Amino acid sequence: MHLKSMKLANPQTLAAITGDAFLLDSQRSRASSWFLACIIVVICIALVSDYTLNHFYQTGAYYWDSGHFAYKTAFSTSWPMLEPPLLHHTLHEGRYIYFKIHFMPIFYLTSALHRALPFLPPAAYFSLLQGVWSGLLALSVFIVCARSHNLVLVIIATLTTAFCGPVLSTIGFPHTELAIPALFLLFLALRSVGYRASSYIALGLCLLVREDAGLHAGAVLILLAVAQWASGESREAVRENVLIAIICVVYSFSWLVFQNLYYPAPFSYLKKFTLVIPSDRT
């Protein structure tokens, strides 16, 4: 009876049943993959945050630059961005303006978020964000490699990127600039899987990290465009990367000009440490 009924079954019905089963297996596989991704990201965040906390609470952090970034991450609420009161020379002098060193509007966003987490001390909050940047590196690689059937290779690639040399070096010398490669890789990863709106949000946040972030992003995108052109990729893909690279470079150049015009020498750290021959530094 069963065999006869199978033979008499409508081919379209069998195809639908088979398709539903395949879709269910695919959904389960995807859910398992994203569960694994969440575990890896949480591990990265926890480890980097913990080691950065040790930098503050165990080994004894120094003000330049970890203490400075901890303050800026939590208390940047004014325009122009001001330095902490401890840097005053005298009571009669105004507070120093941070833009003479760097333009990092990402601190406005992190400070706004810190208002929702007032129970976190600035050092702990900054440490948590350092962990988040490492977690985003892991997530970016996982998004790109998730289609691979070699799960072990995916895990290895994800963890080695999340704990690469620059990340490990920032554990002992924490810097917010770790967010630049983290957010830029997230942009590339999200764009590669079709989440274009989310990818451009990630790129926008990347540009907010520091005034020269656009130069780094633009250089990579130009190299990517050249590689695409050489390998015969579509003109649309090449044109898109070139256009985004130009926007990134123009953005950074605009803020560099802003720093140069409004904070000229001898107060400009841009000129003191960047636009100068090393032997001429005083």
71-123 per-position pLDDT tens digit: 999 999 998 898 887 776 544 455 688 888 889 999 999 999 999 998 999 99
Instruction: Check the CA dihedral 144-148-153-159 and report its sign.
Output: positive
| 3 state DSSP class of 255 | helix
What local confidence, expressed as pLDDT, does residue 273 receive? 58
pLDDT value at 265 more than 70: no
Q: Which two tokens stand for residue 168?
A: 């490990």
Q: How far is CA 173 from CA 51, 62, 178, 250, in A?
A: 11, 9, 11, 30
Task: Tell me how far the alpha carbon of residue 46 is from its chain's centroid.
Answer: 17
Q: Which percentage of the chain shows pLDDT scores above 90? A: 59
**At 282, is the pLDDT very low, low, confident or very high (cuts 50, 70, 90)?**
low
29: pLDDT strictly greater than 80: no
Helix (H, G, I), strand (E, B) or coil at 82: strand
Give the C-alpha separation, 211 to 136, whole Å. Answer: 21
Least confident of 66-80, 90-104, 154-168, 207-221: 90-104
Taking residue 87's Cβ as centre, other Cβ atoms within 10 Å add up to 13
Contact between 185 and 140 (Cβ < 8 Å): yes
| Secondary structure percentages of the chain, helix, strand, coil, to 5 | 75, 0, 25
Structure token pair of residue 94: 């105004």
Least confident of 8-17, 85-94, 236-245, 264-273: 8-17
pLDDT > 90? residue 22: no
Instruction: Please state, as a whole number, how many other Cβ atoms lie within 10 Å of the Cβ of residue 110.
Output: 20
Tell me if the pTM is above 0.75: yes
179-211: b (≥16 Cβ within 10 Å) or e? bbbbbbbbbbbbbeeebeeebeebbebbbbbbb
Cα torsion through 85, 87, 93, 96, rounded to 10: -90
Radius of gyration of the chain (CA): 24
Q: Write down the pLDDT at residue 91.
A: 47
Residues with Cβ within 8 Å of 180's Cβ and at least 6 positions away in sequence, in order, are 206, 209, 210, 213, 216, 217
**Two structure tokens written together for 62:** 């120094």
User: Is 7 a residue whose pLDDT tops 60?
Assistant: no
252 in Cβ contact with 211 (< 8 Å): yes
**Hunting for tokens 């895990």 — which residue is that?**
155
Q: How far apart are CA 107 and CA 139, in angstroms?
A: 23
User: How far apart (Å, rounded) are the C-alpha atoms in residues 112 and 150?
Assistant: 41
CA distance 20 to 15: 8
